[in-house]
Amino acid sequence: MFTEKGYATHLDREDDLKSFRNEFYISADTIYFDGNSLGLLSKRAEASIQTLVESWKNYAIDGWTEGNHPWFYLSEELGKLSADLIGTSPEEIIITGSTTTNLHQLTASFYKPEGKRTKILADELNFPSDIYALKSQLQLKGYEAQDHLIQVKSEDGNTLDTQTIIDFMAEDVALIVLPAVLYRSGQILDMKTLTDEAHKRGILIGFDLCHSIGSVPHELSDWGVDFAFWCTYKHLNGGPGSVGGLYVNQKHFGNEPGLAGWFSSDKGKQFDMEHELTAAPHAGAYQIGTPHVLSAAPLLGSLEMFQEAGIQNIRKKSLQLTNYLLELIEAELKEFKFKVANPCDEITRGGHIFLEHPEAARICKALKADGVIPDFRNPNGIRLAPVALYNTFEEVWEMVRILKRIMTEERYKKYENKRGVIA
């Protein structure tokens, strides 16, 4: 019977990825289901930090060109390690900047209003910082955001309809920026169809991969996506503030970046110190500043594990974990009025489950008090992210058991139904 602990134990024994759990620092007293906000530290990431600290210690300034991982080429090296995760060639990726600075760079590079094409199409469910960046880019071009930023509406407040997005691709749209996976509900957008439809209408399109990279496979090059950007501290386990990444389709190579900087340069010309930029002939042109070496270091170890595990295998287990969680929620928590607000089909469901409940904030506090780390999303959302590389089926079973006890005994009523400073 799937509701019994022995069933979960059996699934763990059959898990092809179970050995990777030993790679991570996991508290014996905690069930960590918040890896879609901040991934856990791995022993390999810790070791790769030390490796680059040692290169600083041993080589000093020569660390830029000496050692196992010369800093001058580190962003490109990490790009190569990331290519399989999003289905691109290594030249189309660079690990640099942060989510928002990379979005600013890409919008500055690809948003070129001309004639009646002056608007940017986004959506009302995207993470706020993406919208902040798009509004500021419009203002820099002299446009009022309230008139030139179009945000696709959601019919249910949690998901977006593909055809509705397509219907908004009007003749006055110059650029489209959408999330690959919605941060609240975990819905995976149909990136291929949206890209095809945008290009039919002469519109460039890019995607925010923050909640998809490392969790679901992509084929960005084959789909013809123009650009993408992401963080590396969620599913990629790069650590708090770890360096972000960006992708530019090779059909755009040779164009100068909208925001040029020191590391936009062709590496062969960079130290000629000329005041005319010779941009890198690949995605490296979209770098701005010097690589944040120590903040990028954990990715050497983390991305190595992703190469070993394989993104298709990670996706397979992720779906197994979330399917099992959905089954247990239906069987054990039906009476407590939780609403499953994420897509339930495997094609459009990302790497987490999203529950809505009027008492969500205090339920999350009760879960944390009982050793489960969830993620609260204002006003009434609970995100639960069992991560393929380090979570187990037994943890899924145990979490549901704990949540059922909290609801049965009304333990959540001890807490205020209000988010903390950080949620």
What contacts 421, CB < 8 A, 6 or more positions away? none
Residue list, annotated binding site for pyridoxal 5'-phosphate: 99-100, 127-130, 208, 211, 233, 262, 290
Question: Between β-strands 227-230 and 204-208, what pairing exists: parallel, antiparallel or unpaired?
Answer: parallel
**From the CB of residue 147, how many other CB atoms can be counted at a distance below 10 Å?**
10
Residue list, annotated binding site: 99-100, 127-130, 208, 211, 233, 262, 290
What contacts 307, CB < 8 A, 6 or more positions away? 81, 84
Structure tokens at 230: 């992401």
E-strand stretches of 258-352: 339-340
CA–CA separation, 306 vs 8, rounded Å? Answer: 24
Q: Where are the alpha helices (DSSP H) in 111-248?
A: 128-140, 145-148, 162-167, 191-200, 220-223
CA–CA separation, 173 vs 117, rounded Å? Answer: 5
156: exposed, middle or buried (Cβ count in 10 Å: 0-12, 13-18, 19+): exposed
Q: For 373, phi and psi rounded to 5 degrees?
A: -105, 100
